[in-house]
Amino acid sequence: MKIIIGNDHAGVEFKNTIMKHLEEQGHEVVNVGTDTLDYPDIAKSVAEKVLAEEGNLGIIICGTGIGISIAANKVEGIRAALCHNEFTARMARLHNNANIVALGARVIGDELGKAIVDTFITTEFSNEERHIKRIEKITNYENQLK
């Protein structure tokens, strides 16, 4: 699987740990992270690369995961979910078809981060009608705001 990953200055070491973990599993990891750019720039870059090719998933990392997830969700077509455990990662994919997971490098440790990422990338969207309708409502709401 191709996974796009990016971080701000607060997530450099954490990102490197997650990248190594994914590469050891045989995933193609595209690193757009940095140690100099602000998180809104990284969020936009990851989001655009996720949208560029069907099936891509993204990982974004900042100190808390909050700011970078807010920024990513400003990009049309992105559903970024801030996850702090495996359950929220599973539900983000299963019910919301999230295409980016946001992580807080200062909030979770390396092992939990790996577990969250593994859960996120291996969980498929349920395709249940009730979840499809909810995602359509969110998309329609976004379009009404334009």
Residues marked active site are found at 62, 95
Query: Strands, E, within 1-146: which ranges?
Result: 2-7, 28-31, 57-62, 80-82, 100-104
Tokens standing for 119?
């859960």
The CA angle 40-43-48, to the nearest 5 degrees, is: 125
The CA angle 100-48-110, to the nearest 5 degrees, is: 35
- The one-letter amino acid code at 87 reads F
Question: φ, ψ for residue 94 (rounded to 5)?
Answer: -65, -45
